[in-house]
Amino acid sequence: MIKGHKISYQSQKVSILKGVDINVGYGEFLAIVGPNGAGKSSLLNVLANEIKTDQKQDIYFKEKIISRWNLEELSKHKAKFSQHNAQDIPLLVKDVVLMGRYPYFSSQPATEDFVVVEKAMQKTDIVHFQERDYNSLSGGEKQRVHLARVLAQLDNDIAHRLLFLDEPLNNLDIKHQHKTLELIKKFTKNNNTAIVVLHDLNLAASFADKILLMEKGEVLAYGLPEEVFTEDKISRAYGFPCSICKHPINESTMILFG
């Protein structure tokens, strides 16, 4: 679905990504984890064609170099939810979600676009405040509006769509954290792919198929949650002690810190 080899990226002479290899398949839920400043958002931006790598290492999306895609076409195949989503948008909530449909119409949205927007608002539990000014929402409510917007953007019949999400759980309460991860998981069940930057390692272990653990611009470990989340690797990456056990109910890998 998307792959890159020896991806390197520098900004203002600071080396941010150092030879990262990545290859994410159809239907995969990949969580990118790692301490602050590890390069997670930078990697996501490179993969999403938002920043260029140093030696112009090519990122392949569906076997074609991503920078060679027609941007309008690409926006129907992949969408990105950013941790730096605009905080100030002078629009009603439902119109922010409708922004996700801009690639689909030129002047006026069609009935189909409104149907998709309504569906996305239901999934993200924001229907009840759709008529409010976006700027009046709380941080977590704004996050859910942007999640609805990217879901609306990728609501089409194209096979193998790709969703990038940079810290989508920020500001969300427990219920909405789980609902959001369940939505992402459901999206990947249809052979779509999600690459998600997460800080909560236990949620990453419960929901993701694969984990990419980054440290100082490099990949420290990549694999199944139980392969990556070991005491040694986590303590090394985060400089913080932890113990590993099994979740008593769903048996996923569980990390206890301290």
Ligand X SMILES: Nc1ncnc2c1ncn2[C@@H]1O[C@H](COP(=O)(O)OP(=O)(O)OP(=O)(O)O)[C@@H](O)[C@H]1O
Residues that bind ligand X (CB under 6 A): 11-12, 14, 16, 34, 36-42
Nearest to 123 by CA among 187, 166, 68: 187
Q: Which is nearer to ligand X, 105 or 240 (CB)?
A: 240
Minimum CB separation from ligand X for residue 254, in Å?
Answer: 22
Closest approach of Cβ 51 to ligand X, in Å? 9
CB 219 to ligand X: min, Å: 12
Give the pairing of strands 64-65 and 29-33.
unpaired
Which residue lies nearer to ligand X by CB, 36 or 250? 36
SS3 48: coil
DSSP 68: G
- Which is closer to ligand X, CB of 42 or CB of 193? 42
Nearer to ligand X by Cβ, of 31 and 121: the residue is 31
> Of 155 and 215, which has the nearer Cβ to ligand X?
215
Query: Percentages helix, strand, coil for the chain, rounded to the nearest 5?
Result: 40, 25, 35
Pick 16 or 221: Cβ nearer ligand X: 16
Cβ distance to ligand X smaller for residue 119 or 216:
216
Cβ 168 to ligand X, closest distance in Å?
A: 13
Q: Using CA atoms in the order 170, 228, 4, 187, what is the torsion angle rounded to 10 degrees? A: -50
Cβ neighbours for 175, distance < 8 A, ≥ 6 positions apart: none
Taking the complex as a whole, the smallest distance from the CB of residue 114 to ligand X amounts, in Å, to 35
Q: What angle do CA 237, 241, 246 make, to 5 degrees?
A: 95
> Tell me, what DSSP letter sits at residue 97?
H
CB of 196 to ligand X, least distance (A): 12
Nearest approach in angstroms of CB 41 to ligand X is 3
CA 126 to chain centre: 20
- Cβ-based burial of 14 (10 A; exposed 0-12, middle 13-18, buried ≥19): exposed
CA 37-40-45 angle, 5° bins: 120
